[in-house]
Structure 1
Amino acid sequence: MKWSEHTIGRALAQQTFNRKYLVVVPNCNWTGYEADILAVTENLRLIDVEIKISRADLKADAKKDKWVKRTFQGYEPEERIHDATGRLIRISRRSIYDEQRLEWPRKVWKHYYALPAEIWTDDLLLSLGSEASGVLLLDANRHGSLKIRCRRPAKPCRDADKLSPAAAVHIARLASLRMWNAYQTVDTLRAQQEASHA
């Protein structure tokens, strides 16, 4: 089977998140970074799913900014830069930040990775962004149906705030707009195909 982010995302939306979830939004930046899937639970908590179709992509995720909290600490001493004649051309001061590794992305109650089972090996557990992240593996049968199994459940972030009703409505509005944009894309592609066959 040829795996894609859309194939995996659709299976998750239709099988895993089709019950008990208020809304499921693809490619959503609402939390301040892009989540491949952002799901809102019935008790107004956020679940973030990162979809990966290669081992390299999975390993690269741990380096993303969503796993680091940076706190400004001040500046390094000034660095004076002169040209060849000795004339001062620039003064720079680098910012100093304290970096703290996060167990969960900001605002998220649970975080999962979803990927094809055929690329998974258990040594990849050490490459994940956090030990709190869950792992969902997808298999395709000979008819093309996808089966999802949980390799490791996600640990919930007890400090994750519940969404306000207004925030949940905002995320639902994003999902609705995405649906209508998808319909427009399909109509445009269909019109192009019809024009090329005419």
Structure 2
Amino acid sequence: MTTVTELLDAAEFRAVLGRYPTGVVVVAAMVDGRPEGLAVNSFTSVSLDPPLIAFCAAASSSTWPRLRRAGGFAITMLGADQEAACRTFAAKGADRFAAVPWSLTPAGHPVLDGAPAWLDVVPHTMQEAGDHELVLGRVTHLGAAPGGEPLVFFRGGFTGLAQREDGGGDTSASRRARSAGPRGLDAESPFFGVLSARLDAASR
């Protein structure tokens, strides 16, 4: 059987896919009474009914097998000011929760404080996908903070949603670009609004 690496140059494949910007999340659970987690940028919403999300965990990860056994986990959506935390959770052998403030979700999973949003998730399906495991999870609880920009990963590095000409302050052009939003599209995804309403109704 012909493999992808025989058809495509792996470095070129990575470089091309790196031109697609992604957010970054931390997937975490309590394992043997201790918080454990890892950084993931292959995260996406999948379905509103049932409420499903997906992410991919590397088969080479030493942390994911332990999280997998926990039977559930939380997903922290990292903010633009949490790059240092992201690097910590991507490093091998680090005591990842030692240097970051965190708290527990209603389901008892650890999430990083100060993040734009978080989800409590239970596994729905898991399957081998090449050198990763594809995980579908069902959302059971969630929360979001007002405002705040996400941490964005693009072309091998971190960036923001808008270009800043003065190194930090907004330019009038960037403010107009963000307020106008993409043409023909809603400025906000309906995922959180609809999902939150459904979960709230189900809990009554």
TM-score by length of 2: 0.28
Bigger Rg, which one: 1
More helix by share: 1
